[in-house]
Each structure stands twice: as C-alpha cells, then as structure tokens.
Amino acid sequence: MINYPNGKSFHASNPPNLHSSHPTRRVDYGNRGMTLEDDLNTTNRYYREQHIALIHKKPTPLQIVNVDYPKRSAARITEAYFKKPSTTDYNGVYKGKYIDFEAKETQNKTALPLQNFHEHQIQHMQQVKEHGGIAFIIVKFSSNNEVYLLDAQFLFKFWQEQQDGGRKSIPKHTFVSNGFLIPQSYRPRIDYLKAIDQYYL
Amino acid sequence: MINYPNGKSFHASNPPNLHSSHPTRRVDYGNRGMTLEDDLNTTNRYYREQHIALIHKKPTPLQIVNVDYPKRSAARITEAYFKKPSTTDYNGVYKGKYIDFEAKETQNKTALPLQNFHEHQIQHMQQVKEHGGIAFIIVKFSSNNEVYLLDAQFLFKFWQEQQDGGRKSIPKHTFVSNGFLIPQSYRPRIDYLKAIDQYYL
C-alpha cells in the first residue's frame, strides 16, 4: 500500500480536512476512535465559536491533473495526486500573534521519530520564528493518550543533530521536561492555548 | 460549463496553487498572460527568499471521494470535488503581525462585484480583525492593469449594505480614495507590503 506524504495511509471514508465544515457533526465525544486531527479540528472550531482564536487546518495540497465538467453537475476531478506539504498544517491568529504548528501522533512509547517531518516544514517553522510568529508541534503519544506541546526550537535542535549523524527521534523525556502536557476535557478537547498563554504570552 | 466555486472556470493545464513549488519556474516576467495569482505567488516567493515575510497561498480545498493505491506508484485520487473555501486564500506573518487576505481580478472597469466573495470569507476576515490580525483584499482591475489593496472594513461595509438591499459591488472610486495603488515592477511583481507598512504599521 502506498502511503500519504505524511506517512499515514489515506482512508476515503474518513478523509482529512473535511470535518471542520461537515454538516453532520459527531456526537460521540468519547476518546476512543478520535484521532489527534479530529480532536484539533473540534478544538479549533470551539476556539472560533467562542471567539477565543482563529486557527484553521490547511487543506491537503494536491496536484490536479484532470477535471471533467459534466453538464448540469459539479466539476469532477478525475486525476490528482498528493503533494508534499511545504508548510505546516495549522495556522492562525491568537491575541494578535501569528500561530503556526504541526500535529503528529505516534504509537512509539519512548520517542517521536523525526521521519514525521519534512525538511520544508522545518524551514517553514524556522521562518515563522524569524518573523516573530509562534511555532510549535503538538504530539500525541497514543499508547498512553498524552498530548504535548513543544516549542519548535527543540525540533530544530534534534533535526540538526540528526543531520550531523545523531539520533533520528526526539526522546519522550524532552516533551516531559521542556514541553507542556496539554489538559484534555470535553470542551475544548485539547486546550493547547493554555500552554501558549503560559509559555509565550 | 460548470465553474469553480470562485466563479472562474478551472484549467487543468494551469492549475491553481501549484506554481509556488513547481520545479520549472516561468522565466517570462513580462506582464502579458500573468494572472494576479501568478504575480502574487511570485511576489510571496520573493518575500520568503529575501526573508521579508512568510506568506503562502492555501491549497484549494477539495472533497476527496475515491483514491486508488496502485502497486509501485503514487496514490491516485480518482474522484474529488471542489469545495467552497471557508477562509481566505492567503495568510502568513510579517513583522510579527498576522496577515490575511483574498485576491480578486475583475474585467469590470468601474466596480468589483461582491459575488466574488462568500459569506464565510467575510466572516473569516471579520474574525481576523477581531483577533488583532491585518485583513484586506487585493484587487486587480484587468482593463487598465491597476492593482489595489483595500482594508477589509470597506468590504464589510459594502457587504452589509448589499444585505440591506444596497448595491452589489464596490465602486472603483472606493479603491482610489480609500485603498492603495500597489506599485508593480520586476521584483517583487506586486509589492503589497509597501501598503501594509504605510497603512497598518
């Protein structure tokens, strides 16, 4: 099976990016079966509806090759391919600050493999910081359902060390020591702006 | 012919959003044949490369219905549809400020028809301002090749008046009187950050 650029296989029955504007919303807010992306979309919708922040997931970038224009119905894309994203997935504005982050979920209990990121995304986050924005990653360790926010500077450090022949992952203890364990609840699901308030503002 | 949600027909040979990371770049920087989107992508790439600002066009949102996973080749989307965007097309960070805008091109010589926008996009730009971001539109009047930047507050005003039974367009003189005529040159093509410096910072 060929995978999606982010390393996950794609399931057409549960496509990425489509939840935020889906007309029928899930009513099961239990944790089982919810992916980190689902939880973040729900959280961002809550932030928007409560006028707390304006943060969106970007659409998945696709290379469109062919489109049909049938009469009396919507244009239909009949050939397209996934592209490697050149930016992170999420951005927006909170208390006047530019916010930018990437979210990753791992089954690994002791570390986050760096293969979850592309060089372009690292460069993008470096530029965010250069221009005065706030850049971080949100990482879910699925095995024990912990979700951490970690400033991008730590990602840059481990990325550089990997280039220099070092380890190929960020150890869990870096998240514990230098990141924030994000509180999870009913609404919002993953209240990551709490960590932003503490760490950046 | 069925049109794209933004009212323009889609040309597979010149797909939207794909220029920024296209490996073979145009060498013809003459004005003929360049769309506003092409010019803005070129401008934003210049801003990124010169470390002036970090602003990207978002990918076109698509509803993916079916994907094939052929052996030994890339996943191929065989059925997808264009979705109405719920945000604007462009955002990013400049001098620590969150920047958000929509770009439109019109053949109309005297006004910009409001049908170029969706209700969701207006609400999105209102939220940008509410959270302390900078929101505006960039409009090209193709007939005489003038490109204006106009703060989103004017769009909100005309949008509201339309709801109340008023005119269905923003008159050209509003751009002339309340907007900024953006200088065009070789590099950057459309130096809209000049207007941001003058108007917002």
Q: How many domains does chain A have?
A: 1
pLDDT per residue over B101-115, tens digit each? 999 999 999 999 999
Using CB atoms, pick whichever of A18, A81, A100 lies closest to residue B74. A81
What average pLDDT does the structure give for chain A? Answer: 88
- pLDDT below 70 — which residues of chain B? 1-33
| Percentage of residues of chain A with pLDDT beyond 70 | 84
Name which of A59, A70, A127 is nearest B54 (Cβ-Cβ): A127
A87 CB neighbours in chain B (<8 A) are 56
Residue in chain B nearest A99 by alpha carbon: B98
Residue A54 in domain: yes
Task: Tell me, yes or no, whether A23 lies in a domain.
Answer: no
Phi/psi of residue A39, nearest 5 degrees: -65, -40
CA A20 to centroid of chain Cα atoms: 14
* B contacts of A98 (beta carbons < 8 Å): 92-93, 96-98, 133
- B82 contact A CB<8A: yes
Q: What is the ipTM of this complex?
A: 0.83
> Residue A45's domain spans which residues?
29-58+85-199
User: In this structure, is residue B54 part of a structural domain?
Assistant: yes
Q: How far is B96 from chain A (nearest CA, A)?
A: 4
What pLDDT is stored for residue A127 in this prediction?
Answer: 98
* Inter-residue contact A55 to A43 (CB < 8 Å): no
The reply to whether A182 falls in a domain is yes
pLDDT at residue number A34: 85
Looking at residue A51, what is its pLDDT?
97
* Per-residue pLDDT tens digits for A36-80: 999 999 999 999 999 999 999 999 999 999 999 999 889 999 999
Domain assignment present for residue B169? The answer is: yes
Q: Looking at the domain assignment, is residue A131 inside a domain?
A: yes
Mean pLDDT of A162-168: 96
Say which CATH number the domain at A42 has. 3.40.1350.10
What radius of gyration do chain B's Cα atoms show? 18
The pLDDT of residue B201: 85
User: A112-150: buried (b, 16+ CB within 10 Å) or exposed (e) per residue?
Assistant: bebebbeeebbebbbbbbebebbbbbbbbbeeeeebbbb
Residues 95-114 of A with CB under 8 A from B: 95-98, 100
Classified as helix, coil or strand, A33 is: coil
Determine the Cα–Cα distance for residues B73 and B78; give it in Å rounded to an integer: 14
The answer as to whether B100 is a domain residue is yes
Nearest to B20, CA basis, from A85, A90, A129, A60: A85
Q: What is the pLDDT of residue A137?
A: 98
